Structure 1
């Protein structure tokens, strides 16, 4: 992925991709150029599945959508789901995603973090959705994804009263999976990816698919996925290695 992505810095590694939101002058506000760049990132990861680490740098994750652009959008823009379509695509990426959230993730920035599979934070991490104060809805996933993540009552507090969660509160409800020192944030995100990549790549990918499937798809989906995995060379190799270690 040796390309230019406006408002992003991209570190293309063999087995993962690290993407940093890069609009520090406006606290990483998400504008259309950043949305388009992230769509291109998604297209690459859909074609060649790898885990994604998404961060906003050492001080902030993202302060939300770009209000100057949001102010000019009309009903057709809302129906197009400019941000919600992107965040849905990120959530549906074939391999796991980790958000490394150094500081505030507010509004659309919070919704971007909610779309990731895991969130690692620091003691400066904050999550909030103050969209109602601007006369709009948190319509890029918070209204339905947040209740799934933290429960309906807490989601109502965040969305209806403007409550902001600090790092300890977010960790307590597992909105954050781990809180670490700021200088260890990216290394910890890499460690999470390292642990996941101990799994067979196809098994990891299909496990995420199974987890995202609606309840009514199970157990038929699980059986079909298992049938696919039973036929792989990777399954035979890993099980042979396990049996050899046990006999040793």
Structure 2
């Protein structure tokens, strides 16, 4: 049985983590399938909705049985870190729809998406220090950027779980909804995003994610390309004609 269920649509891909017996723990097979999905979206860019299925679990973290056997060479191979960096760099926007726990590597998978929404029973946490390791797949630098250094350090140092209402106040998620509304809300957000120019979306994402100090240059170069794009002329012409 596939560890990742794929529903490909005209403008988006819905990817469902599918290891319910392991609370969607991220193992080597799931990593491989997510890499395959990334390759697909790099070749044929589409929006991505990533979720954890209908059993009230997003992802309970990395597979501890596999993690326990990893060596320093496995750590240096950046197995999860490399995957999540690849997800972050996908051409078009991504959204994680989180229900229930998003812990350890599962939380870091959500942080790698551009947007996060969750249910009122969701919670996020980084328990790694209590297992004798650190959150090594992006949390130590993505979480401070998302919620601020002080709060991020508290969560990383204490392994405290952040409930949905606090995640909303901190800006980690943009919406909190009832479980039965999670997917419809996520698709509604993607419907709004899909109204935009795909090229403008790609350049906007590049500008936002640019390294510190590079933002103005990326923005200027991107705008220069977009100003000459045929779709820009078509969209602005349609807007002006509609106003008449």
TM-score by length of structure 1 reads 0.96
Instruction: Judge conservation of contact 2:124–2:161 (CA < 8 Å) in 1.
Output: yes
Query: Does 1:101 pair with 2:98?
Result: yes
Q: Closer, same or farther in 2 for the Cα pair 1:218/1:162, shift >3 Å? A: closer
Instruction: Judge conservation of contact 2:208–2:215 (CA < 8 Å) in 1.
Output: no
The worse-fitting range, judged by mean Cα deviation, of 106-115 and 217-226 is: 217-226
2 CA distance for matches of 1:23 and 1:75? 27
Which of 48, 51, 76 lines up with 1:52 in the alignment? Answer: 48
Query: Paired residue for 1:199?
Result: 196
Q: Secondary structure at the match of 1:18?
A: strand
Query: Paired residue for 1:21?
Result: 17
Per-residue deviation at 1:215? Answer: 3.1
The worse-fitting range, judged by mean Cα deviation, of 199-208 and 214-223 is: 214-223
Query: Does 1:11 pair with 2:32?
Result: no
Instruction: Judge conservation of contact 2:206–2:218 (CA < 8 Å) in 1.
Output: no
Query: Does 1:218 pair with 2:228?
Result: no
Query: Does 1:80 pair with 2:77?
Result: yes
Which of 113, 119, 122 lines up with 2:119 in the alignment? Answer: 122
2 CA distance for matches of 1:219 and 1:106? 35
1 CA distance for matches of 2:69 and 2:216? 47
Q: Secondary structure at the match of 1:19?
A: strand
Task: Encode CA deviations 1:85-140: one digit per residue, 9 max, x unaligned.
Answer: 00000011110000000111000000000111111111110000010110000000
Query: Does 1:38 pair with 2:34?
Result: yes
Q: After the TM superposition, list the runs of 4 or more consecutive aligned residues in structure 1 that deviate by more than 3 angstroms.
A: none
Per-residue deviation at 1:221? Answer: 1.8
Per-residue deviation at 1:39? Answer: 0.2
Per-residue deviation at 1:222? Answer: 1.4
- Structure 2: 5+ residue stretches without partners: none
Q: Secondary structure at the match of 1:215?
A: coil
Measured on the aligned residues, the alpha-carbon RMSD in Å equals: 0.9
Q: Secondary structure at the match of 1:77?
A: helix
2 CA distance for matches of 1:54 and 1:220? 31
1:148-159 → structure 2 map (5 Å cutoff): 148-159=145-156
Q: Secondary structure at the match of 1:216?
A: coil
2 CA distance for matches of 1:29 and 1:137? 17
TM-score by length of structure 2 reads 0.98
Query: Paired residue for 1:175?
Result: 172
